[in-house]
Structure 1
Amino acid sequence: MAETALRILLVGIGATLVMDLWGWLLRRVYGVSGLDYRMVGRWVGHMAHGQFRHDGIGRAAPVPAEALIGWGAHYAIGVVFAAVLVAAVGQGWLQAPMPMPALVFGLVSVALPYLVMQPAFGSGVAGARTPDPLATRLRSLITHLVFGCGLYLAACLLAAA
C-alpha cells in the first residue's frame, strides 16, 4: 500500500511537472501565457472565508502566500488526478503503464477547469467570458492532454526503475 501511494505521488508530481514544462516552453518560444498559479492560490485562500466564486479572480483581494498556495494546490491536484486514474484502471497500470488510459484521463481531466475553475474565476463555463474562448478552450484541452502524456511518461520511468 505504501509503495503504491509513493508511486501515485511520484506519477502525479511527474505529470504536473511535464505540464509545467509544456507551459514554460509555450511562454518561452511562442509568448503564450498560461494560468497564473497565484490566482489559484487567491481562489483557494478566499475559500477559507466561504467565497468560492468571483466575478474576476484578478480583481479579488490578494491573500497572503497566494503563489505558494497556488503552486501547492496545482501539484496536489496533479497527485489526486494520478490517484483517480490508478483507482479507475487498477494498480497494475503502475507496473505496466499503457498510454491510452493516461491520455483519455488527461482529456477527461479538462472538465475541472472548464466546469469548476474557469466559472469560479469569473471566466464562464469553458472560458466563455474570456476575450478568445476558443483559444482558451484549446489551450486547456492541449495542456490536459500533455498532462495525460506526463502521467504515462512518469509511470513508465517509475516502472523501469
Structure 2
Amino acid sequence: MTEHPIEGLMKTTMNSLKEMVDVNTIIGDPVQSPDGLVIIPVSKISFGFAAGGSEFSKTDFEDLPVSGEKLPFGGGSGAGVSVQPVGFIVVGNDQIKLMTVDEGNTALSSLFDFMGKISDNIQEAIKKEKGASSDKSMEMDDNIYTD
C-alpha cells in the first residue's frame, strides 16, 4: 500500500521533535563545582503536536488532469516545545539534595512584574497630565469671558 501524504508530514515533525528532546534535555549534564559538589540540572518538557490534511475528490477537479489514483491533497503539521527548569540535584558531602526553582522568583517573572509596574505608573502620569492640562484650558476659557 502506498504511503499517504499526511504520513510524511507526521514522520518529519516527529523526527524533528525527537532530535530536539532527549534524556539530556530533561536531566542535564552533571557539573562539578570546585568544592567537590556535583550539580545536575532537571527540567520539565512540554510539547504539543498537530497534523491535518484534506483530500479532494476527482469530481472537484474534473477539468484538471489527475494522474493515476492520486488525488489532490493539502495538509500541514506543526509542533511546539517548552523547556522549563525545575531544579537541581546536588550530590556531595555524603548527601543528595533536590533544590527546586521557585516559579515566583525567576528573573524573567521579576522583570515582567517590574515592567508592569512601570507601565501602570506611566499610564497614571499621562492621565494626571491630561487632567491637569484640561483643567488649565478650562481656567483659560473662564478668563476669556470675565471681561
TM category (shorter chain) comes to under 0.3
Give 1 or 2: higher helix fraction: 1
TM-score by length of structure 1 reads 0.18
Q: Higher strand fraction: Structure 1 or Structure 2?
A: 2
Query: Rg larger in 1 or in 2?
Result: 2
